[in-house]
Structures are given as C-alpha cells and as structure tokens.
Amino acid sequence: MKFAFYPGCVARGAAPELYKSTMLVVDKLGIELEEIEKAACTGAGVLQEKNQKLGDVLNIRTLALAEQMGLSIMTICSTCQGVISQANHRVVKDPEYLAEINKELEKEGLHYSGKTEVKHLLWILLEDIGIKSLQDMFNIDLSSFNFAPFYGCYLIRPSDALGITENPKRKHSLDIVIESTGASATDYAGKTRCCGFPILLINQKNSLKMVAKHTGDAKDEGADAMVTPCPLCHLNLDGYQAKARRQNNRGKADLPILHLPQLIGMAMGLDAKELGINKHLVSTANFIKSIKTKVS
C-alpha cells in the first residue's frame, strides 16, 4: 500500500513528534509513503479568506502532483485534509472552474483530472487497512483506558466535501479506532466542536474557554488522555491547556493530548518515548507510568 504523503506544516514545524510517530506507525502498518516535496501549504482556510482562488490553485496543484505520481494522498492533519477536500469538491462539481485552474497549472506542466483521492491516516486505518487487520497488529491491551476523541472541525464538516454521506463511518472514525485498541471512547459533547485554535491569536479569551471546556469536560467524564488527528487542535489543547484551565477555574492541566499515531503506536507496543509521548507540554509522566503498570 503506497500513498503520496502530505504531512502539513505543523508536523514539519511545531509538532515534530507527530511526524516521527507517523513514520514509526506507517512502517508497522506496511504503508509506503512518498512525500509530495513540491506541495505548498493548504492555506488552512486563512489564505482562502483573502484569495480563495489562490488557495484552490495551490491545493489542486497538490492533487495534480499526486496524480503525476500515480498515487492517492495521505494526510495527518484534519485541517489539511479538510481544506484540500473542500478545494477538490469545488472543482469536481464545477468543470469550468477546474479547466480555469488547469490552465494555471499547465504553465508548470501539470494537469488535474479530478480523480485524486485524499485521505487522512484515520480514514486509511478504517477503510484501507481495516479494523480487523489493524487489531491483528496490536499487542498491548488498552482496555483499562478511557480516551476522549477530538476530531477537529475540518475532518467532519462540511460532510459533502469530506465524502461522509458515501462513507458514514467517517463521522465516528476516531471513536471506532479508539475502541479498536480495546480502550473506551469517552462520550462528551466537545468531541466535534472547535478547539479554539483559529481564534487563538485573535480572541484568546474565547479560544481558551473552548480549550478549558473540552479538556475539563473530557476529564470529568473519566478520560485518561485525549486523542486528536489534528495537530492544530493539539497545539491549542496541549500548549494552552494550563493557562486555559487556570483562567476558567477548571483545575490543573491534567489531560494529556496525544496525536492519533501515538495512540496506534502505543497499542502496537512501541515505546512511549520513541513515539514522542513525552514531548507534550501537558505532563504525560503519570500517563506513561500508568501504561507501564496497567499493561504489565
């Protein structure tokens, strides 16, 4: 199984542990990756506010580069996945617009036919690897753990661009994958809400209220840690949890936030430090200790 890899800016920058844990996990999964080295940033919806066409051209270019490689794309970021899917959705339903963008891409010798598939690692686990085969690769029993899923807005909305109507399981994909490890998926209202990251630098007070609410609620529902397929959500939920909980009287920052491949790697029996679980700003020391004691 081979994919064109689109890691996104955060995995290359502020969250190197996401990149590293992804590499360790895909190796075990038997997924071969070829990075799309020429790909630009997706624009994360921010560039699109200023110039949607520029955003669309850059994302369709990424899809065209993958087409040239003859591969589907794998992403590891809810925002990247969503923004590329939205651009793809716009051109697929509007052939004239696609032709206009292709005219731009031709200058570089590229062409997009509208057929490249782009999938988050989470969906690949569900749809390409399959839960049964995935479970065969797990050798640690996590049944005494409770993990709170946190999807990231752009991995579940808008449902038409993300193919959720055709693949309804995508709506619950993170719950399904968490449960496949034997752990329980925490049920709390915040799992499909906004992490607050997009307004962190605009309205920090509101942004941190979101962080405090979701992490506090998940903790109250018994979560041992939160798992997210989105490194932008991770930046806020992990990086700002201490300040957010303090500012909103929701206690101490006590909920470790894990990247999706870190959970998978843990279930596979990979070393917590190798997976970079000790690299988060919210302390994971007790969590790592509890894995060792509960599992052994």
Which residue ranges make up the site for another protein (CB under 8 A)?
9-10, 12-17, 37-41, 43-51, 53-54, 57-58, 61, 104, 108, 153-154, 157-159, 193-194, 196, 198-199, 201-207, 209-210, 213, 239-240, 243, 278-281
Helices then strands, counting H and E runs in the chain, come out as: 14, 8
Read off the amino acid at residue 81.
Answer: Q
Quick one: 92 or 137, whose CB is closer to another protein? 92
Measured from the CB atom, the residue of 32 and 49 that comes closer to another protein is 49
Least gap, CB of 210 to another protein (angstroms): 6
From the CB of 165, what's the least distance to another protein, in Å? 12
For another protein, which is the closer residue by CB, 51 or 143?
51
Residues 6 or more apart whose Cβ sits within 8 Å of residue 237? 150, 195, 211, 214, 215, 226, 228, 257
**Cα–Cα dist 261/121, whole Å:** 8
**Considering beta carbons, is residue 209 or 294 the nearer one to another protein?**
209
- C-beta of 52: minimal distance to another protein in Å? 9
Tokens for 157? 């909305």
Indicate the residue among 14 and 131 with the shorter CB distance to another protein. Answer: 14
Q: How far apart are CA 7 and CA 76, in angstroms?
A: 6
Instruction: Provide the token pair at 227.
Output: 């798992």
Asked if 251 and 283 touch (Cβ cutoff 8 Å), the reply is no
Q: Are 218 and 148 in contact (CB under 8 A)?
A: yes
Smallest gap from Cβ 88 to another protein, in A, equals 16
Tokens 């917590």, located at residue: 272
CA atoms within 13 Å, Cβ hemisphere of 1: 15
Query: Least distance in Å: CB of 227 to another protein?
Result: 19
Residue pair 176/169 in contact by the 8 Å Cβ criterion: yes
Nearest distance from C-beta of residue 129 to another protein, angstroms: 27
Nearer to another protein, 190 or 265 (CB): 190
